[in-house]
Structure 1
Amino acid sequence: MVVQTVPLKDLVARVDLGLTVLCGADALDRPIRWAHVSELEDPTPYLVGEELLLTAGVRFPSDVPAYVAGLVSSGVSAIGFGVEPEFPTVPSSLVEACEAQEMPLLEVPPSTPFLAVSQALGALLAEIAVREQRMLADSQRALTRAATRVRPVESVLTTLAVVLNCRADLVDPASAPDDVASLVGRVASGSGPRSASAQVGEEHVTLDPVESAVLVVRRSAPLSPSERAVVAVALALLGLLRRDVESERGQIARLAASALLRSQVAGVANVLGPGPYRVVAGESPADYDVLAQRYGPLVSQAGNGFLALVPAVFEVSGPVGVSSPFMEPELVSASGTSPDSAPGLAVGRAAAEATALLARAKATGSPAFPASDLSSLVDPVAAREFARRELAGLLGRPELIETLRVWLGQHGSWDRTAALLGVHRNSVRHRISHVERLLGRDLGEADARASLWLALTWLD
């Protein structure tokens, strides 16, 4: 069972108690689990640690330094000394011993019964318990909503980062950052611990497996038990979503195969006319209905959206990713049985291209076509290197990359970006300011926006 604690400073801040800090003012962050009253010369056998020990000095110890040393070794967080009726003031020997051994010492005035201190501590603990239960419930709802959004894995990671004020990344063992690579490998292998936590530099890092990947959570302070419960919810959702992603990747291939198998009966040309063709990836139900009505047998639902094999010239109004045009001479081999004919290869490549372009389409709210004009003149390897160089400060931060993509796509509109991301406009402003700091760029400059838009286009 986990027992909640309260920082000593919260108890000291209660004006109604009238507590005075005599020494240890720089240690008021110490946790207090309970208040314990004892007038024994040696109460250590009855202590468990993190107490506020309350005493009026009824049996004041003869060896005060040894008395304080025993309390320190027992894990007592602080001493509260009640003045009167035994002592009109806190004994100077106790003050000196506490100062020497860095033990916080509080003076409890005659008007404050020890019971009042215990009751105040209980009220603070109850407030924390209620606050953490509310935080857990709110976090569960936020994570569940995130799992239903566009790009659900990234949305869950972003929501987790906001809720816990941390950095949350889903890391593949082969590409894990150097500072946690060994821990990621052990957690992902299944032969090591099921989860791990460690201090890495100035960050406290926790690692948990998610299918074949590892969730890495970084922040300045360790996670509390309730925050670990929030991570557990995120792990459950990410595990389901990762399986869905793998299934969706397979569905892209199945779309190509099933479309081509159907074409053996009806013929793609009979449905779409002569090539060239394109693949369209989208998520809008309205676009799905339009395309399904026109090209029914060649439209397939995939995960939260759809993929469609369409003519090179077609019409949609919403945000969709559109592949490059292609011919499909190998749709059906002469015999229909040759394993070397690789049926659907062009469709599969086009489906992957359209799915990647869908992210840009959702950012702009209009169809996204493959790079042309300037992009067509750039070597793909050089383009990727440029993208990674321009966005180096954001790599591994999917929530910032997605926010920047949508914000640029909406021409810097805070309200439209917030609506598309499902967050408050102030959250968008905060993220964009963070992007500017990480990249060292002024996003008010046109050339910065243009360079970053190209980098986002070429990143994948």
Structure 2
Amino acid sequence: MVVQTVPLRDLVARVDLGLTVLCGADALDRPIRWAHVSELEDPTPYLVGEELLLTAGVRFPSDVPSYVAGLVASGVSAIGFGVEPEFPTVPSSLVEACAAQGMPLLEVPPSTPFLAVSQALGALLAEIAVREQRMLADSQRALTRAATRVRPVESVLTTLAVVLNCRADLVDPAFAPDDVASLVGRVASGRGPRSASTQVGEDHVTLDPVESAVLVVRRSAPLSPAERAVVAVALALLGLLRRDLESERGQIARLAASALLRSRVAGMEKVLGPAPYRVVAGESKADYDVLAQRYGPLVSKEEGGGFLALLGVGTEVSGPVGVSPVADSPSADGFASVPRSEVDRAAAEALALLARAKATGEPAFPASDLSSLVDPVAAREFARRELAGLLGRPELIDTLRAWLGQHGSWDRAAGVLGVHRNSVRHRISHVERLLGRDLGTADARASLWLALTWLD
């Protein structure tokens, strides 16, 4: 069972209690679970830790340093000493022992009964419980709304970061940051801890598996139980979204391939005309409706309105699309013959080009100019070297692609990504820091755009 706590300073701040801090002013962040009244010379057998121990010194101990040492060892957070009727002031021996052993000591005035202190603590605990329940409910609604947006995974991560004032990353174990790489690998493998937390520099870091990836949350302060519940909601949504995404991508490739095989039997040229053909990946519902009505099984629908289509070269589409050619030649029977592997390859390439098209707002085709002069292996090595600081940070790669594609316009890039313009500014500043590049220069922009084009 999780028991709520209140920082000692919140109780001290209650003006109606009139509490005075005699020592330990630098330890007022200590958590208080409850107030416990005891006049025993040795109350330690009845303590569980994080108490505010209230006493009037009715049976004041003869060995005060040992008395305080026992309370420190038992995990007592602070002592409240009520003056009168036993003592007109707090005994100096108690003040000295508490100061020497780092125990906060409060003076409780005669006008404040111990019951009032307990009631005030109960009220503070209730306020925190209500506040955290409201935060949890609001966060659940915000995360659920984020999961319905165009870029649901990124939206959920961004919303989680805003709600918890943290940094939230969905990390591929192969590209995990060095400071948590070992722990990410253990959590993702399923052979280590189901989840983990650690301290990295000044950050408190928690790690939780999400399918084959790991959610890494970094924050300056540890997560409260309610905040952990918010993370649990995000984990559930991210797990569903990743499974759906992977399933949809596989289904699209299978549908495109099966559509191709059906068309071969019927004679693709009768539907599309003479070769060559191309695979088109798009997101416009209007394009899908027109193409599906015209080409039927050659167009496969993706959840959310996206599609893959096998089309003739002359077919026009209106929205941003990724277009990849399929090599083709007539078979002996006069019908078009396209290997299944060619369609799978072209579909994967078209989906990758769609990301570029969404960033620029224009159709994207396989490069036929500079890129055609570059060895593909060398191009990929160049891309991974240029973008090394961003690998494993898909939200930063997507932001950089959208921002460069929109010629550095914060507003247009924000529109493409579905986020606030300040989020784009914040992410681009992270990109500059991680890459060590000034994105205000044409050389850096051109180099990074080519790297994004050639990235796997």
Displacement of 1:333 in angstroms is 6.5
Q: Deviations over 1:101-159 (max 9, x none)?
A: 11111223344333333233223222222222222222222322332333433433343
The CA RMSD over aligned residues, in Å, is 3.0
CA contact (8 A) 1:257 1:343 kept: no
User: Quick check: 308-317 or 351-360, which moved more?
Assistant: 308-317
Q: Deviations over 1:342-388 (max 9, x none)?
A: 83221111110111122222222222222343333333333333333
CA contact (8 A) 1:206 1:216 kept: yes
- Whole-angstrom CA distance in 1 between matches of 2:352 and 2:192: 35
CA contact (8 A) 2:51 2:78 kept: yes
TM-score w.r.t. length of structure 1: 0.87
CA contact (8 A) 1:82 1:108 kept: yes
Q: 1:53 to 1:333 in 2, by over 3 A?
A: farther
Q: 1:373 to 1:167 in 2, by over 3 A?
A: same
Q: 1:86 to 1:156 in 2, by over 3 A?
A: same
Q: 1:90 to 1:213 in 2, by over 3 A?
A: same
- Aligned residue for 2:127, secondary structure, equals helix
Q: Does 1:169 align with 2:169?
A: yes
- Residue 451 of structure 1 aligns with which residue? 447
Displacement of 1:331 in angstroms is 8.2
CA contact (8 A) 2:4 2:33 kept: yes
- Whole-angstrom CA distance in 2 between matches of 1:4 and 1:101: 26
Q: 1:292 to 1:208 in 2, by over 3 A?
A: same
Displacement of 1:255 in angstroms is 2.3
- Whole-angstrom CA distance in 2 between matches of 1:391 and 1:3: 46
Q: 1:55 to 1:331 in 2, by over 3 A?
A: farther
- Whole-angstrom CA distance in 1 between matches of 2:335 and 2:229: 53
- Aligned residue for 2:370, secondary structure, equals helix
Q: Structure 1: where are the runs of 5+ without partners?
A: none
Q: 1:193 to 1:248 in 2, by over 3 A?
A: same
Pairs within 5 Å for 1:173-322: 173=173, 176-177=176-177, 179-200=179-200, 202-300=202-300, 301=302, 305-322=306-323
Q: 1:105 to 1:392 in 2, by over 3 A?
A: farther
Q: 1:377 to 1:128 in 2, by over 3 A?
A: farther
User: Quick check: 90-99 or 290-299, which moved more?
Assistant: 290-299
Displacement of 1:68 in angstroms is 0.7
- Whole-angstrom CA distance in 2 between matches of 1:428 and 1:15: 45
Q: Structure 2: where are the runs of 5+ without partners?
A: none
Q: 1:153 to 1:89 in 2, by over 3 A?
A: same
- Whole-angstrom CA distance in 1 between matches of 2:441 and 2:120: 55
CA contact (8 A) 2:6 2:31 kept: yes
- Whole-angstrom CA distance in 2 between matches of 1:336 and 1:152: 46
CA contact (8 A) 2:288 2:305 kept: no
CA contact (8 A) 2:285 2:305 kept: no
Displacement of 1:337 in angstroms is 14
CA contact (8 A) 2:195 2:206 kept: yes
Among all aligned residue pairs of Structure 1 and Structure 2, give the percentage whose two residues are the same amino acid: 90
CA contact (8 A) 1:260 1:331 kept: no
CA contact (8 A) 1:331 1:343 kept: no
- Aligned residue for 2:2, secondary structure, equals coil
- Whole-angstrom CA distance in 1 between matches of 2:434 and 2:183: 26
- Aligned residue for 2:330, secondary structure, equals coil
Displacement of 1:304 in angstroms is 5.4
User: Quick check: 166-175 or 379-388, which moved more?
Assistant: 166-175
- Aligned residue for 1:179, secondary structure, equals coil
CA contact (8 A) 2:279 2:346 kept: yes
- Aligned residue for 2:76, secondary structure, equals coil
- Aligned residue for 1:178, secondary structure, equals coil
Q: Deviations over 1:23-53 (max 9, x none)?
A: 2222222111112222222222222111111
Displacement of 1:7 in angstroms is 1.8
| Aligned length in residues | 453
CA contact (8 A) 1:392 1:439 kept: yes
- Residue 36 of structure 1 aligns with which residue? 36
Q: 1:388 to 1:71 in 2, by over 3 A?
A: same
Displacement of 1:172 in angstroms is 4.6
Displacement of 1:315 in angstroms is 2.0
- Whole-angstrom CA distance in 1 between matches of 2:22 and 2:331: 90
Displacement of 1:76 in angstroms is 0.6
Q: Deviations over 1:84-104 (max 9, x none)?
A: 333333221111111111111
CA contact (8 A) 1:281 1:308 kept: yes
Q: 1:245 to 1:49 in 2, by over 3 A?
A: same
- Residue 408 of structure 2 aligns with which residue? 412
